[in-house]
A and B are shown apart, each in its own frame.
Chain A
Amino acid sequence: EPEVTQTPSHQVTQMGQEVILRCVPISNHLYFYWYRQILGQKVEFLVSFYNNEISEKSEIFDDQFSVERPDGSNFTLKIRSTKLEDSAMYFCASSEGWGDETQYFGPGTRLLVL
């Protein structure tokens, strides 16, 4: 069964450093998403991406965040200058459509900012 994959599974970085989280969505999906879950809190939407551009983003997704689909398979989330409060589990998801279409989630990348 096709699945969303994410790398790395864990990343530790120093405050102020740039990190890139990578995702490979399901191959025939057209919509891509990033969510995050701070420890003990709810899963929060960050951004959705369709047709090579951001289609929706939350207040959390400020100028330090960016997303890119550099080739036909990868979807990346870049955090330019990490802060302590960026420590969280980051989930990538993909779907064929939006609204009532199921979003399929990857296993997540646990980011720890020191």
Chain B
Amino acid sequence: AQSVTQLGSHVSVSEGALVLLRCNYSSSVPPYLFWYVQYPNQGLQLLLKYTTGATLVKGINGFEAEFKKSETSFHLTKPSAHMSDAAEYFCAVANSGNEKLTFGTGTRLTIIP
């Protein structure tokens, strides 16, 4: 079984400030980890993913995430928030044993001008 916990359903940061969105996962086998972003009235867009290899992965729009096996975490960060980053962010886990993505409950990111 696999699951994802996203701490904080709503996060607000000032424009230019650090963005940190938290994700912890549970998986009985090595996980594949994903961050998706959903802008209003749009579908889910992949930001970045970790499968194997380097634990720090870089994605689109300046986002990055680090896979920490010891902490079962895959937190999403961006050094400097931009107004266009306002959206809902979903962490998801998959593994080699099944085909489905298991999503967290999402974090709505608000950027304060």
Contact = CB atoms under 8 A, between A and B. Distances in A.
A91 B94 CA distance: 17
A42 B105 contact: yes
Nearest to A45: B100
A58 B100 contact: yes
Given A100-B49, A105-B36, A48 B100 contact: yes
Contacts of B51: 100
B43 A91 contact: yes
Of A4, A50, A100, A105, the most chain B CB neighbours within 10 A belong to A100
Interface in A37-94: 41-45, 48, 50, 55-56, 58, 91, 93
Interface string B6-36: 0000000000000000000000000010101
Interface string A94-113: 00001110111111100000
Interface string A5-47: 0000000000000000000000000010101000001111100
A103 B101 contact: yes
Contacts of A44: 103
A36 to B, nearest CB: 11
A93 B100 CA distance: 11
Interface string B85-100: 0000010101110111
Interface string B70-113: 00000000000000000000101011101111111110000000
B32 A45 contact: no
A56 B100 contact: yes
A107 B41 CA distance: 7
Interface of A: 4, 31, 33, 35, 41-45, 48, 50, 55-56, 58, 91, 93, 98-100, 102-108
Given A33-B99, A55-B99, 12 more contacts: A31-B99, A42-B90, A42-B104, A43-B44, A45-B100, A56-B99, A91-B44, A93-B44, A100-B32, A100-B51, A104-B46, A105-B36
Interface of B: 32, 34, 36, 41-46, 49, 51-52, 90, 92, 94-96, 98-106
